[in-house]
Structure 1
Amino acid sequence: MGVGRNTISWTLFILCLCDWTAAQISFSVTEEADKGTVVGSLAKALNVNVRDLETRNLNIVSGYSKKYFDADLKTGDLYVNERIDREELCPNTVKCTINLELILTDPMVHHRIEVVIVDLNDNAPIFVEKLHSLNISELSPTGEHFLLPLAIDADTGRHSVKTYRLSPNEYFSLDVQSSGDHSVSAELVLLKALDREKQAVVKLNLTAVDGGNPAKTGSLNINVNVLDANDNTPSFNKTLYKARVDEDAPTGSVVIQLSATDSDEGDNARVVYSFVKRGNFNPADVFSINGESGEITVKNNLDYEAESAYEFHVQARDQGSSPRSTNVKLLVEVVDVNDNAPVIAVTSLMNPVKEDAEIGSVVALVTVTDRDDGKNGQTKCKISGSVPFKLKSNYKNYYSLVVDGHLDRETLSSYNVMITAVDEGNPPLSSTDVITVHVSDVNDNPPRFLEHVINIYVKENSPVGVLIHTMTAVDPDVGENARVTYSLDGGSTLMSVASVVNINSETGDIISLQSFNYEEMKTFQFKVQATDSGVPPLSSNVTVNVLVLDENDNSPAILPPYSEHGSVNSESIPYSAEAGYFVAKIRAVDADSGYNALLSYHLSEPKGNNLFRIGTSTGEIRTKRRMSDNDLKSHPLVVLVCDNGEPSLSATVSIEVVVVENTAAIQTQFRHVPIKEESFSDLNLYLLIAIVSVSVIFLLSLITLMAVKCHRTDGTFSRYSAPMITTHPDGSWSYSKSTQQYDVCFSSDTLKSDVVVFPAPFPPADGDLISINGGDTFTRTQTLPSTEKPKVPSADWRYSASLRAGGVMQSSVHMEESSVMQGAQGVLVQNWPTASSAADAEGGEVSPPMGAGVDSNSWHFRYGPGGPGAPPQHLKPGEVPPEAFIIPGSPAIISIRQNQGGEDDKSDFITFGKKEEAKKKKKKKKEKKDKKDKGKDDGDE
């Protein structure tokens, strides 16, 4: 112990890894060091000022039951806090370390401290036995080895047993064997043949010496009993046997089969096997051996984590009268099996966590340990579920649980973080641990009123100090952050508002400080501010409208002239006044509003008056009947004006009505109150202007419509003349053409060259003279000028695209002989052929049947506004149908395509077939058919 107190050494290692949490510091201290012994300077190792250690909340966390080390925040030193016994802390371990976690805040810094516990040579080697006996035959040859017991030393490393010494004697020497990482063993070597008759017992002393300075020793007395007689010693075929066995091997599993042979015969050659107990380990506690066969099996459960290997000796002894034996070393390695699940240890650092904690803030330290070896002890740790936290790897199996998302206590006040650790064994084992992280409140929500604007209704003349409303604001925070106080926020009018109302800062009760008068103040407005008690405080405002409700506290007031001071309220009426004669009009007002200001007029005196009446709502006094001679000449009237309040208030006015003979006397004798006519109001003026404006607009629209209707005439088409058609001696003909263009097709069997042309509904203003020659070509020969251009119709004449080939059209229109199309002055146009068109509603259409081509003879044409079944069209004398131009002769059906002034007018032609040409083609077609029937191929179509 004294040596331990005087020999304290420390070594500082800083491992700078990539991560902020990967810094590692290493110290060393000898075991049994006194409390308070300084291990090393944390301030120097961390490169921080000593004064910062306390302000940055230095915290040391360890996973041990005892707090072996602590930090002195004043000096920055790490010192011993508990007595450390290395043999108790790390039994059977060469290197003994204590791992600590050091954490600094503001900013957060995490270090791993490794303190190596240096072993002291405070334990001497000891032998389990006090006396060891050996039976050696006197016939044993020199050089034969005899195994000796092992000495036990609780110290490790260089302080463990390093050698053995044998007391001086003439028969034996000592052979010390070192097995590397394993213990040092010693064997007796026979140097000189024994003679039982000369010395039956040889006493020796074996001393075990450790490697300390100074060295410690332990001794064992050995008695060698000299036996008679056995010539041969059993021998094994190996000097060292090795075996492997799984730690989960069941009881009875075979570990190894040993075999030893003896050259003797009989009992001297019959070998029996047994374990050799050395030190404090007895192989028979773990394994079983068959004495006859040498088979070693598993006796009890193996545990790799408790003992990874077993080294012991097996003895083979013959059964002679003087038995001889030999020993062999057996090393049994226990193979690790993944039979230990990871263990999760959590050290909480910040719980609860503030809801405004930044991302990356450390909440807790997580340590995962697995007692297995290799991959079976390698673990991975993760968080299950969706939570705003994550695990950050610090060093090997050390993790930090950090904030990884936004926290909101008002949404969720606590989280159950499930941590799962899985090792890499086969099959893998896992374990889970749930950490409950509570979220503490931060003042991040201002108080909130339930309404944006609050209306308060207060009766006028209410007493002072009455509660008129209670304000309520809610704050989703908790504690002081949710404790709300109320105040008036009137801005620039705070002083005036504070004289009218007051608010209780705790309860939010608004109390009136004066009695309200509706006639003086109908409404006023102020703001109430709600402020929480957080740091910093948050607040919000709400607008409060106070509306004073009217009470019937004002009596009606009579208006002049009947209310003038010193005036005599008298009126005169002529004796000849008829019933309904206007006498006077009483006017009154009431300062109240609503029903409280709704006035009614009544005659209260004289009672039962049947000469006068008063309008209840107008206040006009009129006569009820004509005067009679029995009526008095003077009639005092008392008019009562009442409002409609509850209770009703009233006012009276007295008028004396005098009956006179004529109107002149009325004007000279008595004061007359003139009747003021009501002025013409602005509203009536606006209504009058609006009615006049609407009437004028309606009349103008009607006149315009009539003018447009009258301007139209029925002779629209009379100003257009029919196109000019000219015949020529060679059989060709021509007609006038405007920008409109026609495609005319004949069928091959047309009998005559006469043609019926269907142009646009309106003749062109100017056009080209188009001639049709016998060569079946269509040319433009002359342009006819015109002074005005008509409107172009929208008729859409269509023909099959297969009928067009360049600028010349082949004859492909079937001539309907049975159909008659004639047009003359005053002649009924009828018997129109039938065809299909896209302009049926316009009056005509042309289309080929299904499959119509160049040689198709099934074209049909229909013209007429109503289609098939429509009534015939009548023409006036001298009028040409606007949709048809007719050339006398046999009718033919023409497919016409109309282009209305397009760019491609020059590319369209009209092709006519003559009778002779049609006959030739028909004859040629018949000849070709005959040739085909005979099987001849001309090769010419």
Structure 2
Amino acid sequence: MPERLSEALLDLWTPLIILWITLPACVDTAPTTPSQVLTSGSRLELNRLSEEQRILNRSKRGWVWNQMFVLEEFSGPEPILVGRLHTDLDPGSKKIKYILSGDGAGTIFQINDITGDIHAIKRLDREEKAEYTLTAQAVDFETNKPLEPPSEFIIKVQDINDNAPEFLNGPYHATVPEMSILGTSVTNVTATDADDPVYGNSAKLVYSILEGQPYFSIEPETAIIKTALPNMDREAKEEYLVVIQAKDMGGHSGGLSGTTTLTVTLTDVNDNPPKFAQSLYHFSVPEDVVLGTAIGRVKANDQDIGENAQSSYDIIDGDGTALFEITSDAQAQDGIIRLRKPLDFETKKSYTLKVEAANVHVDPRFSGRGPFKDTATVKIVVEDADEPPVFSSPTYLLEVHENAALNSVIGQVTARDPDITSSPIRFSIDRHTDLERQFNINADDGKITLATPLDRELSVWHNITIIATEIRNHSQISRVPVAIKVLDVNDNAPEFASEYEAFLCENGKPGQVIQTVSAMDKDDPKNGHYFLYSLLPEMVNNPNFTIKKNEDNSLSILAKHNGFNRQKQEVYLLPIVISDSGNPPLSSTSTLTIRVCGCSSDGVVQSCNVEAYVLPIGLSMGALIAILACIILLLVIVVLFVTLRRHKNEPLIIKDDEDVRENIIRYDDEGGGEEDTEAFDIATLQNPDGINGFLPHEDLLRESN
């Protein structure tokens, strides 16, 4: 019997723990009620809902088995009831205890362990935490043994409209070109709302402009700001302040709102031409102003800014276009008039220019408004200044012969004072350019005279500077270069181009060219040099050598015979007369030294010294030494003999009373005196060896014809 009673009780108390919760509807008009009960049989109860209830629930959020809802920011005098836990195992005998654990259990959420009521004991903020996960369980009150497995559920914090929209990136700045068409996009702004965007309209934003009309408009949903007026002019107003509002709840009354500011700046476009500040400019300039000096400035103002205001300046007309130029100053945006060529007050006293200013960067959108340029007139007055003297020529070239007489006039320079009140001029030579003081100048008339002799062969050109000074104002001076060319006269006789020494082979052939010589002349005749070569009159019939003039103005010396012998005569001196073609012609005598040498069979010189003949075969060394000693002794006797004869002043060779030393003397008209005379000894000429040429000596005859 007790066993059957136990089974009956078990069948009776075997229901599931039913947790009843009345879930809030999802529509905005259905607030959450505190009579929510969560039971284990709620799924079955949901299935048993009548068709009428289903129709009513179509406009509400569907039931969720494991969720509870609680309004955020609720702050009543008592804790808010979130829901209730209940099990069918509880007959009301208070022997069942409910336990709550999980997020916020005991701190935020509190449960009545007897009734199963769950209360929120703190004000909740959905933006801080949107949901909490908790676990519920029913246990025996006395034994704390679980009566059923634990059940997990979620408490969601239901949003209310407690956050106003915010512009996190404000205030804003934007630019738009001036003269833009209507509806040109400027920028867009974005506001954020911390409320739940999927629940109701708490986060649904609508944008509007509170300040900034009628210049700008805004798209209510996208917040794109556009121009509301066409052709706004930056020159009239450059900056606009726009106040933008974002309102939640779809813009309906009762919603929260936030504002921000947008500063719109109109950027410049080239819609304005340059304009001169005045139509006529006056400038004055001294006539002696330095080239490149700024005469004055003109300025064309432009209401635009930056590169749109840049203008270029040009001189387009006037009587001074060749004398003046205008350049653009990129920094000051004005035109600088400069002097290109010298001014002369005495020639022209004023000039008129027409200048133009034109935009550098033209916007084709506004070209139809007319030319983006302007013109103005510039009058320039030339002022008189005390100018330095002006020479009749910028340079002078003078010529003078090198034999010109001292104090002869070489040439003349002239200068004048260009001023109206002309001042007398004095001339002088800059002695830094004439250190040797070779020239003088007449201070009054500028005639240049020769102070020292000139030699073209020393210097062909002389460059001096002449100074002209105003007598009334010594600070006004001018300088002019004078080049003086020294012209040639025939005052130098020709001579050998170098010191020649010819070599004659003993085994040479008759007619063989011994040496080719050329001449030089320090003078510089206009038609070039042409030389005449000849032998001295007494050497015309020279038995040993002859001469031949070549086409290249040179001379060849030829041997007349063969069989020359070094032992008989080692050296021959051949005087050659060289004449130029000047007027009058000059001549000189140059002596060619011809040395007899031993040569190979092919004519190569091997030795030019006197050599002993081959000694007889078998001559001993002692015999050679004896012969050498005899030769030395003989030489000593000859020297002593000659010395004694000189002490007695007696001639070495006297054949008769008329055979005395005579001098054959020729005088050069331009000679240098005693140095140009050479003597020939009659005794020498009468020497039998003289027929074969001159013996080695230093006699030199210079003849000037």
TM-score (norm 2): 0.40
Larger RCO (CA under 8 A, 6+ residues apart):
2
